[in-house]
Amino acid sequence: MRRNTTQRIYLDYNASTPLDPRVAAVMREIMEQDFGNPSSTHWAGAPAQDRLAAARRQVADLLGCSPREIVFTGGGSESNNLALKGLYFDSDRPNAHIITTRVEHPAIVEPCRFLERLGARLTLLPVDGSGRVDPDDLRRAVTADTVLISIMHANNEVGTIQPIEDCARIAREHGIPFHTDAAQSIGKLPTRVDDLGVDLLTIAGHKLHAPKGVGALYVREGIELEPLIHGAGHERGRRAGTESVLLAAALGQACELAGDLSGVPRIQALRDRLWTGLVEHFGERVVLNGHPDERLPNTLNVSFVGRIGAEVLAALPEIAASTGSACHSGRVELSPVLAAMGVAPEIGAGAVRFSLGRPTTAEEIDTALRLLGGA
């Protein structure tokens, strides 16, 4: 089969998403017109202040919270760091106990490891073969010293959705602040904070067609955080530094668009078409990683049995997707997520994550299937 080498297919929307033209339009307007400092009280500051307030309202509307509960940040990693370190430092208890899971993004794992070096005690909850935590394990892990619980809403590698409502209920019963990293679920699943029952929630702009370098942290009214950046009292004292109106407005616009989930069933149908096509071609030589149902509608993580994921993708430069495991000097190292799920090394080695997005077309999926079938 001849390959059309000019066609490039992007199936890595969990890594990052292209800027939505409607987000770009808002940014263009601001870049050309508004330069004022949103803290200034004169004519140049007022429009910037209005833009910032509108953006905060757009983010808050998506989450069903008050704009006062939104802190703009520099991205998902910063939001996670602010949540974890902010709660820990505010607790004023160096040997405080933190609960999280074995399948979190490094932007949760690494701040937790840092806090462990400062004296915190850490419990990493296990997951089952589909990547889900058991709320009973959380219940058993809680101690009188637990100062925070952080469990991701949906996993970036395999897409498995955690039972957040049940876990948050347990946290609430014990009066422990509950954070969820929703970087991957915004715009794909409902994420209203009162329905989820969470106290803190992370958003990462570039996962929802806003630019990189902007995010937000939802902080429920009454939850105290020590800021990471001290300075003038921006963001109600929770993150010092003159706000980037440009990036905040971009995130606001992206959140407004993300609130419309009506396009999600189309993306899920394309994701399932990809899976069905792979099964038709590879039969038992392809295995699904992650939960069969409780999974992000855009995410398909599969293992090509007997193959190395990186080699499958290297043979198909037209397709942009991710591997689940890293190859170091000829040895394949399972990703911590697949390892925590108990995926056998020889299966995990063949893992590839395909993640679809709003721009994905049926033609792209069919072409990807054709290419994969010939690889």
Ligand X SMILES: Cc1ncc(COP(=O)(O)O)c(C=O)c1O
Considering beta carbons, is residue 181 or 256 the nearer one to ligand X?
Answer: 181
Amino acid occupying residue 48:
A
Catalytic residue chosen out of the listed positions 65, 112, 167, 327: 327
- The whole-angstrom separation of Cα 366 and Cα 334 is 29
By beta carbon distance, the residue nearest ligand X is: 76
Considering beta carbons, is residue 188 or 206 the nearer one to ligand X?
Answer: 206
Stretch that binds ligand X, among 75-83, 172-180, 295-303, 304-312 (CB under 6 A): 75-83
Stretch that binds ligand X, among 179-187, 191-199, 230-238, 357-365 (CB under 6 A): 179-187
Stretch that binds ligand X, among 51-59, 70-78, 85-93, 304-312 (CB under 6 A): 70-78
- 333 Cβ neighbours under 8 A, 6+ residues apart: 325, 326, 327
255 annotated active-site: no
Minimum CB distance to ligand X, residue 79 (Å):
8
Answer whether 278's CB lies under 8 Å from 286's CB.
Answer: yes
Q: According to the binding rule CB under 6 A, does residue 111 interact with ligand X?
A: no
Q: Considering only residues 152, 255, 287, 343, which one is a binding residue for ligand X as defined by CB under 6 A?
A: 152
Q: According to the binding rule CB under 6 A, does residue 295 interact with ligand X?
A: no
# residues near ligand X by CB under 6 A: 14
Q: Considering only residues 215, 252, 309, 348, which one is a binding residue for ligand X as defined by CB under 6 A?
A: 215
Q: According to the binding rule CB under 6 A, does residue 34 interact with ligand X?
A: no
Stretch that binds ligand X, among 176-184, 253-261, 291-299, 305-313 (CB under 6 A): 176-184
Binding mask 118-147 for ligand X (x = CB under 6 A): ------------------------------
* Residue 363: CB atoms within 10 Å: 10
CA-nearest of 355, 354, 358, 356 to 372 is 354
Catalytic residues: 327
What residue ranges bind ligand X (CB under 6 A)? Answer: 75-77, 80, 105, 107, 152, 156, 181, 183-184, 204, 206, 215
